[in-house]
Amino acid sequence: MATTTSAPEAILEAVGGPENIVNLSHCATRLRFELQDASVVDKATVEKIPGVMGAVPQAGDRYQIIIGGAVQGVYDEIMNLPAMKGGAGSKSGQSNADVKAAARAKARGKNAFVDAFFEYLSDSFRPLLPVLLGTSLIIAGEAVAEALGFIDTRADVKPASLAFVDAMYRSVFYFLPIMVAYNASKKLRIDPWVGTAVMAALITPNFIYMSDPERTTGVTCTVNETLGTDLCTATVFGLPMQLNDYGGQVFTPLIMVAILAPIYKGLTRIISPNLQMVFVPFLSFVIMMPITAFLLGPLGIWLGTALGSALAWLNNTAPIVFAIIIPLLYPFLVPLGLHWPLNALMLANIDSLGYDFIQGPMGAWNFACFGATAAVLAISIREKDKEMRQTASGALAAGLFGGISEPSLYGIHLRFKRIYPRMLVGCAVGGLIVGLGGGVDARTFAFTSLLTIPVFSPMALYAIAIAAAFFTSFIILFISDYRTAEEKAEARAAAAAEGFVEASPEETAADLALEEAAKAAAAPKPALVAGAVTELVSPVRGTVVPLAEVADPVFAGGAVGQGAGIEPSEQQIVVVAPAAGTVVVAPDSGHAYGINLDSGVEVLIHVGLDTVEMEGKGFEVLVKQGDRVEAGQELVRVDRAVVEQAGHPLTTPILITNTAAFASVETIASGEVAPGDPLLRITA
């Protein structure tokens, strides 16, 4: 029986009704809910609602529903529903707004700390992942050369060439605490160079020389039999200071910046603006450098060592259990952002032990994930499902060569409930092989991709484990399919409607004739003509970023469309129209612009990430919805300093929102681009 429930009503019902909504807002593509209880939302139900492109549960009780370019209209329709007006949620004479404000305060008190903690970890590490990946490939190259007998990385005396190559990757790992301090300071919205300088003080030659009794007086050292290293203590201002090597540490800068931030902000409130430039950094240094050296530094060392030792105990006591638990946990940790503490532990292990034992079992999870994606790709090729083929091929490439699982998770796996239980079998098989083989170690932090296999030891055991995980997931899913019978029927019907597969026998000759007549009557736009190739130019000056590396899983996974990201380079950022067309999305916040180009391409330019929260501050909007724009016409001017001070990334995704209408969307630019430079190649 056909339902008369509209999409806005269905969305409202799916999230638990107006009484469950603490706050509702939207950006250029997503409805952003803050709910009193997000557990009542059934993801599969939400994604079946017409017009919904996907659903993404967030930390705490936040929930995002992906709509695409029509989000403004859907938002307005939801807000205008009778249930959202008047008495919904009111009690004891309070207005609906008062009740929701109270609920919002209660919800934040309940979840805000946990949400903020994981966001803090995530944003402190995420910008470093590209350089960590790059350096891990240098180490992989060394491992291959050593396996072939060309070099000996363990020799006491090394050739200058090898020492130089070592310096190329050790720079990142040794100065990692400085980089983490910089990112953590930006996340907490204080001057990042202050946090950087405090942490750098503990890595200067002056501090390191304090551990040498021949260079510094008042230093005593003892040998730690367990670690086989010297533990030194210096008397500074009459107080004992434990001296540690802080190179490679991550817990110390995370703790330090968390303490520095309230001190820094407190100083800005009590010191006159005319004196802040000098005295806020000065007093921050005077307060935080001693606190870090005497207390927080040793605390960070102890915390990392204790957590690593606990996991090492489990790994040594029950290696099979440990090797199975890790890959079974990761599929649930990554979508929630809860894997960041484990990443920090991996880095701490490498610094304290010289190797890490978590990444090997983790590789079983990653390759089980990629095997499931490969099965989806194979099925989509067999059934000529162009949309899923595009999604799966991009996600698989990002996984196998970049070690990135988010495109697979958000683009495919979380959308189909049959995938996870089958993928977990692959995780368990890979982990079991690692455990039975006695474990796998890594000498560096590495994305578990095909390119970093040489980083792991023993390499043969690791290769067998990840291959078993990959093909177990692949075979099970390819045989059983990733969709239910209903989902397969819906997919085939949708594909037939789009002309991706042959029409079913039930379609009558009259229907086909009418369809062909309609197609003939409608002259296709230039970019939509079969075989047409359209180049889209960059709308902003900056550095091209692969879409899979954009720090937003919805964009990176291609849920809104394929495209590329750009890291703007100008202080005063100017965004222009890439081609002539009509503006269909231009919110007052100025953070996003949807343009239906005359060519038939539909493009979304999203200026920064989560910049909708700025409510237009720093954005000079130059067009409005419905405006006609020409190529090169300015859309918005953005003050970089205002956005950075608010703590939002400026990465600007350029997305083709009607990607499904094309055979491919390829990024053809790399490095620096200027407005008007070719960016994307779109093939009909």
Return the exposure string of 226-260: e unless at least 16 CB atoms fall within 10 Å of the residue's CB, then b: eeeeeebbbeeeeeebebbbbbbbbbbbbbbbebb
- Whether the pTM exceeds 0.75: the reply is no
Q: What distances in angstroms separate CA 232 from CA 290, 461, 608, one per listed residue? A: 17, 39, 47
pLDDT of residue 336: 54
* Structure-derived torsion over alpha carbons of residues 408, 411, 416, 420, reported in degrees to the nearest 10: 20
Query: 109 burial class (0-12, 13-18, 19+ CB within 10 angstroms)?
Result: exposed
232 is catalytic: no
Secondary structure of 231-273 in HEC code, one letter for each residue:
EEEEEECCEEEEECCCCCCCHHHHHHHHHHHHHHHHHHHHCCC
Whether residue 621 contacts residue 545, with contact meaning beta carbons closer than 8 Å, is answered with: no
End-to-end CA distance of the chain: 37
Strands (E), 504-560: 533-537, 542-546
pLDDT mean for each 10 residues of the chain (684 residues): 66 90 78 87 86 79 79 83 59 38 41 64 72 72 76 80 84 86 90 94 90 86 64 90 85 92 93 88 95 93 78 84 90 66 74 81 93 94 83 82 74 81 94 93 80 88 96 95 76 56 44 48 74 92 92 82 93 94 88 92 92 88 91 94 91 91 91 94 92
- Comparing C-alpha atoms, which of 56, 57, 53, 48 is closest to residue 67? 53
pLDDT of residue 562: 92
CATH architecture of 7-84: 2-Layer Sandwich (3.30)
pLDDT of residue 72: 74
Q: What is the CATH number of domain 533-683?
A: 2.70.70.10
pLDDT of residue 491: 64
Whether residue 563 contacts residue 569, with contact meaning beta carbons closer than 8 Å, is answered with: no
Whether residue 449 contacts residue 456, with contact meaning beta carbons closer than 8 Å, is answered with: no
- Comparing C-alpha atoms, which of 409, 486, 491, 562 is closest to residue 55? 409
Strand-by-strand arrangement of the 678-683 sheet:
533-537, 678-683, 664-667
CA distance 280 to 28: 38
Neighbours of 97 (CB within 10 A): 10
- Could you state, in order of their start, the residue ranges of all structural domains in the chain? 7-84, 124-203+246-308, 319-490, 533-683
CA distance 389 to 498: 15
Element (H, E) at 122: helix 96-125
Q: Considering the candidates 27, 232, 369, 427, report the single residue annotated as catalytic.
A: 27
CA distance 143 to 147: 6
